[in-house]
Structure 1
Amino acid sequence: MNNKKSNTVSASKVTLTELMLPSHSNFSGKIHGGYLLQLMDQIAFASASKYSGCYCVTASVDIVNFLNPIEIGELVTLKASVNYVGTSSMVVGIRVVSENIQTGKVKHCNSSYFTMVAKDEAGNTTKVPHLVLSNSEEVRRFFDSLRRINQKKNLIQLEEKFEHLSEESLASLKNHNVVVKL
């Protein structure tokens, strides 16, 4: 465990660049989303571990929208940094871009947020250093993470209260492409 009381966002920054090979492709000849998720999980681990000085595990992954396909032969660059810290958790922001080596064209492929949890040698959660925010962009990313965390908590509360078999809920399904036969 790292005994530092605080750490900076820049201490968590990690960049990973990899050439996309035919072995990384799916049936349509584009880079497989599962392979990209694997790379994202690796860089989230590296960023969180670098920041905290601890072994880290993935607790959750926020929405991953595949914005643009990645072609075989393109260079994919993933950039990650810690955007938010709790007691033992960290939100790692990840941006993925690809570059066509021949044309130099760069496209944004996706962005996502991985929540990582620091563990000690016994496998128990452990405290992470306080996050030092050094500029307005880091403050914005921290508040964005806080907003997503609060939205997730509110959604969980709504889901716990939602009665899916009520007459009102079942009646609302008429607006969707579904048939209910109970």
Structure 2
Amino acid sequence: MSWPDHILALFAEIARPMAVVLNADGCREGWLQGEFYRHFSPQYDGFRVNYSYRSGRVKHDVYCPSPNEMVAELKVYGMRGYFNKNLCGQGNIKRFLPEVTATRVSLTEQEIDDLGASGYLADVRRLRQLPDSLKRYMILVLQKADDPDDFGKATSALQVSAEEWHWECNDFLVRISQIK
């Protein structure tokens, strides 16, 4: 089973408590890191959260040295009520809005480098800077909303990798992008 398959299985297992925690401001990613640690550390020796890869200054949300060395970043957002700067550090996110509803907006590596000053795209850029020998994943959790605002529309449309895995339930969706 691949890392994305393991991770999506975990989300299926924790869907009910995750739906509750999504409404708790300021602790969602930390809670989710705890669930990752609780679930994966007994199975995988060396599994870590908030880990500095090779003693670097940047901490990554998830790391595991085996069976395939892996680093992942987590972002947990809602489809309403977030500042646009959470996407790329800029207020203007019109470039990321799909022209047709329910379509995806693909970004090139160069666009990610140019636009990713902070937020989601900065995490993608940081993952791209790690060695190619690592499995690198961007894990996005989006709380669903009946009437998404521009941030929700843009974030749900954004595609940062051709290789993606998806899972969703009534309350949220999960997208895992393998970063190369």
The structure number with the bigger radius of gyration is 1
Q: What TM-score results when the alignment is normalised by the length of structure 2? A: 0.29
> Whose strand proportion is higher, 1 or 2?
1
